[in-house]
Structure 1
Amino acid sequence: MREIIINQPRMSYYVGGAEMLSMDHARFLCMKGYKVRIFTINPVLGGMRYSERYLKFKDEFKKKIEFTEINLGEKHKDIYKTLPGEDRYRWNHESIAYSGIFSNIVNSLDVRMIILSYYILDAIGVNSDYIINCLYLCGTPHDIDIFQGSFLYSYDKIIAITNEVRDYWQQFTRIEISVISSGVDIERFRFLGSRGNIAKFLYLGRVIKRKGIEDFLKLSRLLKNETREFQFDVVGDGPNFEIYKKTFGDRVKFIGSVEDPEKYFRESDVVICFSEYGEGLQGVILEAMSTGCIVVATKTKINSSLLSDGRGILVDYDFDELIKGVKQLLSMSNDSLNLMRINARKIIENKYSWDVKINEIIEVLG
C-alpha cells in the first residue's frame, strides 16, 4: 500500500479553498486504497478554534486516516494576533515555523512515502531520500515574488491547479509543472435543473474584499426590478463579517459558515464569483455548475474555459460590467437559462468529477 502525507497546516482551523481541496484529496486517495496521513497545526495554543468542517472530517475518517497536529510553541504565538485573510505574509511566518518542525518529523521516518503540500513554504526542509516531496500550487501572488519562487527547488514534483498558475510559477523552476484542476463530488453536488425566474443571488466563500464581497453587497443595493423581488445571501465567514452584516443586513441575509454548501447552491439561482486577483480554479464555481446554479465570474483564462459556450456569464473586473452581466441573465428566457445549467453540468460530469481528477493526480505522483 502506498503511503501519502497530506501536509496542510491550516486545514485544522481555516476554511479556504486550498484547505477544502486538501481534505478532498485525502478523502478520495483514501478511497483509492492509499494509506493517508494528515499533518496540520494544533490551533489551540495560538488561541484559534478548530473549524467545524475539520472536526467533522476528522470524525468521519478517524479510523481510516492518521491525524498529526503540530504545536508551534510559545515562540510563534504572536502569529495568531493577525487573523487569517487579513495579511497574506502571515502565511509565510506560520509556514516557515511549521515547516521546520514538520520536516524534522518526516525526515526521521525510514518509510518510502509521498508528501503533498499546498503552500510553497510548508515543506521546504524535507530532504529524505525516502520521500517524494510534491507541491500543489493553488494560486499566484498579486505581484512577482522571487522570494517564494526560489523555494520551488525544495520539491521533486509540482502540480498547478490551472494553466495560468503553472505559467506564473514555471519561471522559477526547471521542473516541468503538471496541470491538474480540482474536482467536484457530483453525487453530493447533484443537479437541479429548471428553477423558473431568477430571484436569488448567492455569495459563497471567504468573506474578504479580494474575493468580491464588497461588489456583491453593492449589487444588492443597486439591482432593482419592477416585476420581482431579489434576495441576496452571504454564506461564509471572514474578519469583517460582522461589519458587513451591520451595514448591509437590511438588504442581505448573512448566514455564516455552513457544512452543507450544496443546499445553498440548489436553493439559489445565481452565484457571483467576482474575485480581484490570484485565484486558481475556484471550487465554488465547479460546485455551482454541478448543481445548476448559474455562475457570473471574473473573466480569467480558467473561468473562460469553464463558462464559455453558454455555460455561464463572464465579466471583466469592473463593477459596471458585473451589472451588465447580471442584467443579461435577467433578460434571458427560462428555456435559455435551463440550457445554460444543463451545459454547465455536462462539462463537470465529463471533465471535473473527482473520479477523473484523483486518477490524474495518482498518475503524476507515481
Structure 2
Amino acid sequence: MRVNIYQPRASYYVGGAEVVALQHAKYLARAGYRVTLFTTKAAFIRPTGYFRSFVRENPAVDIRYISVPKSLAWIYKNPPGQDWERWDLESLHVGRIASSVLESSQTPKSVFAAHNIIDSLALPPTASRVLHLHGHPDALNYVCSLALQDPGLKLMAVSEMIRQKYASMLPVRRGIQVAKNGIDAHHYTILPNRHKKYDLLYVGRLIENKGVQVLIEALSELEKAKHQKLQLAIAGAGPYKAKLQALVKSRKLQAQVNFLGFVPDGQLVRLYNSARLSVLPSLSKEGVLTTMLESCACGTPVLTSDQSSMREFVKNDKNSFLVPAGNAPVLARSIERIFLRGDGYINNVGLLAREQILRQWTWERRIERVGALYESL
C-alpha cells in the first residue's frame, strides 16, 4: 500500500501535528509501506533543522514539494502558531495548488492522510482519505464543519478525549476511530550520570494555551512562601515569550527562570535528563502531548493538567502527576508536595513512567494501529 501524507507545515514548523505526521511517515516506511510526504517549499520558506534531519535520516520516505508562489508570500510573513486564521489561510490557498499535485499521485491502492481539518479539502475526493484529529478548537467554523461532514473522509483522533470532543461538536453523527501517538524510546532514554541542573522544566511552544504563565505564577507563590529557590528552565519559542519575560521580571524571578529558546531535537534528551520534574500546565484543548511522552521516556516524570488528554497516559502519583488547569496556587502546592517526598520518590515515578512508555507508547507499537486502520479503508 502507498501512504500519501499531506502536511504543508512539516517543512518549516515544529508543532505537535507536524511532528506526528513526520513520525507516521518514518515508522510506516519502516513497517514496509511506500510512503510519500507532501510539504511546502519556496524561497521565503525556511526549512527547520528538525525537517532537514528527518529528510537526511529517512531516505525511504519519498519527499515531494508543493511549490508555493511568491504571490502567497504574504501568508508566511505572519509568524506561525499565533492563531488559527494564519493556518486556515495557508490551508485554503496552498491547498488549491496542492490538490492537483495530490490528484496526480493517486494510485489504485493508496491512501491520503491529512493532519489539519482544512488541509483535508486538498485530498483527492475519489481516493481513500483520512484526517487525523489532534487538538480541538472551541468551536467549528463553517469551512471546518463542512469538511468534517464529508462521508468519504475517515476521522482518526489522537486520543479518546479528542474523539469525544469532536463527536459532540459535529452536526451529524460520525464514526471516529482513535489512533494514539507514540515516542521513539530508543532516542528518548535515560542517560547515565544524570546531573539535575533544573528543578522544573517546560518544553513547548510559548503560546497562552500552554499555561506557562500559570507556572511562573506558581513559582512566585513558592518564592513568597520562602521555599528553596527553585530553578525553572523554559525551552521553546513563540509569540507569548515577551509577555512571559515581562511576568518573570514583575515577579522578580529573573535569577530563577531560564529562557533557553528553541532547543533542537538532538539536545532535548540531555535537557529532559537534566530536570527533576517537567511541568506542562496546558489550559485546554490538548491531545496527548509529545513533550510529555518525551520527558517520561527520559525518566523525568511530568506534572500536567487533568483537563486534557494527558489523563490517558498519566496515572496520578504512579507514573506522573495531575493538577487542575489554570490555578497557580494549586500548582504551587502540587510542586511543593512532590518535592517534599524527595528525589528518590520522584526518580521512582520517572522509572515507572518510562516502563509505561516501553509497554504501550512506542511508535513501533502505535504505528501498527495506524497501518491497520489505513488497510481497512
Flag whether TM exceeds 0.5 (same fold): yes
* TM superposition shift of 1:142: 2.2
Unaligned runs of 5+ in 1: none
Correspondence for 1:300: 307
* TM superposition shift of 1:294: 1.6
1:232 aligns with 2:237: no
Change (3 A) 1:325 1:194: farther
Correspondence for 1:49: 46
* TM superposition shift of 1:349: 1.4
Correspondence for 1:349: 358
* TM superposition shift of 1:20: 0.8
In 2, Cα distance between equivalents of 1:213 and 1:311: 22
Correspondence for 2:217: 218
Correspondence for 1:96: 92
Counterpart secondary structure, 1:84: coil
1:261-304 CA distance string (max 9 Å, x none) = 12211111111111112111101111111111121101125322
Change (3 A) 1:194 1:308: farther
The counterpart of 2:155, out of the listed 148, 154, 158, is: 158
Size of the aligned set, in residue pairs, is 361
Unaligned runs of 5+ in 2: 249-253
Where do residues 166-315 of structure 1 align in structure 2 (5 Å cutoff)? 166-171=163-168, 172=170, 173-191=172-190, 200-224=199-223, 228-241=228-241, 244-245=244-245, 248=248, 249-257=254-262, 258-260=264-266, 261-300=268-307, 302-309=309-316, 310-315=318-323
* TM superposition shift of 1:227: 7.6
Change (3 A) 1:51 1:67: same
The counterpart of 2:335, out of the listed 326, 335, 346, is: 326
Correspondence for 2:251: none
Correspondence for 2:118: 121
Counterpart secondary structure, 1:330: helix
The counterpart of 1:109, out of the listed 102, 105, 110, is: 105
Between the aligned residues of both structures, percent identity stands at: 24
In 2, Cα distance between equivalents of 1:22 and 1:209: 24
AA in 1 matched with 2:111: I
In 1, Cα distance between equivalents of 2:8 and 2:277: 33
In 1, Cα distance between equivalents of 2:87 and 2:12: 13
AA in 1 matched with 2:82: E
1:140 aligns with 2:136: yes
In 2, Cα distance between equivalents of 1:144 and 1:126: 20
1:362 aligns with 2:367: no
- Contact kept in structure 2, 1:8 and 1:39, CA below 8 Å: yes
- Contact kept in structure 1, 2:132 and 2:158, CA below 8 Å: yes
- Contact kept in structure 2, 1:202 and 1:233, CA below 8 Å: yes
* TM superposition shift of 1:138: 0.5
Taking structure 2 as the reference length, the TM-score comes to 0.88
In 2, Cα distance between equivalents of 1:301 and 1:49: 32
